[in-house]
């Protein structure tokens, strides 16, 4: 492990980023679809919206969205080990080109910078 260079850990970091990003989008889709299903089924069957089980499912999906967002928000840059998405709430991920601190491009490696 001592002879492992930082650059060798870049593919693992980008794989983790891809996984987190996909899980984040899936969690949003789950939140929207579960919320929509609960609302539509309540209207179709003239049921009042209650906390059981609709609210539990919707809150569970909301928690999943929050967890995946936090995992993306606090991702560390594989080169400088600082927050890769600094000020994420002001600047969306899909508009980012690289690390806020050292400039490492998304899915990049050290060879691209030299």
Q: Which domain holds residue 73?
A: 9-113
Task: Determine, yes or no, domain membership for 3.
Answer: no
pLDDT in tens, 77-100: 888 888 877 766 666 666 677 787
Output the CA–CA distances (angstroms, integers) from residue 51 to 8, 38, 40, 63, in the order listed. 49, 11, 15, 16
Task: Determine, yes or no, domain membership for 2.
Answer: no
Task: Determine, yes or no, domain membership for 31.
Answer: yes
pLDDT in tens, 5-44: 456 677 888 888 889 889 999 999 999 998 888 888 777 7
Q: What local confidence, expressed as pLDDT, does residue 2 receive? A: 43
pLDDT mean across residues, the chain: 78
- How many distinct structural domains can be found in the chain? 1
Task: Determine, yes or no, domain membership for 85.
Answer: yes
Q: Where are the alpha helices (DSSP H) in 5-76?
A: 10-44, 56-73
What pTM value is reported for the model? 0.71
């Amino acid at each position: 492990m001592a002879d492992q260079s930082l650059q060798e850990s870049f593919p693992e970091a980008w794989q983790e980023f891809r996984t987190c990003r996909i899980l984040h989008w899936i969690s949003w889709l789950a939140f929207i679809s579960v919320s929509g299903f609960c609302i539509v089924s309540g209207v179709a069957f003239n049921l009042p919206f209650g906390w059981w089980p609709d609210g539990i499912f919707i809150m569970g999906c909301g928690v999943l969205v929050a967890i995946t967002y936090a995992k993306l928000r606090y991702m560390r840059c594989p080169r400088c080990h600082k927050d890769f998405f600094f000020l994420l709430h002001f600047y969306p991920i899909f508009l980012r080109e690289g690390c806020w601190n050292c400039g490492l491009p998304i899915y990049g490696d050290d060879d691209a910078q030299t």
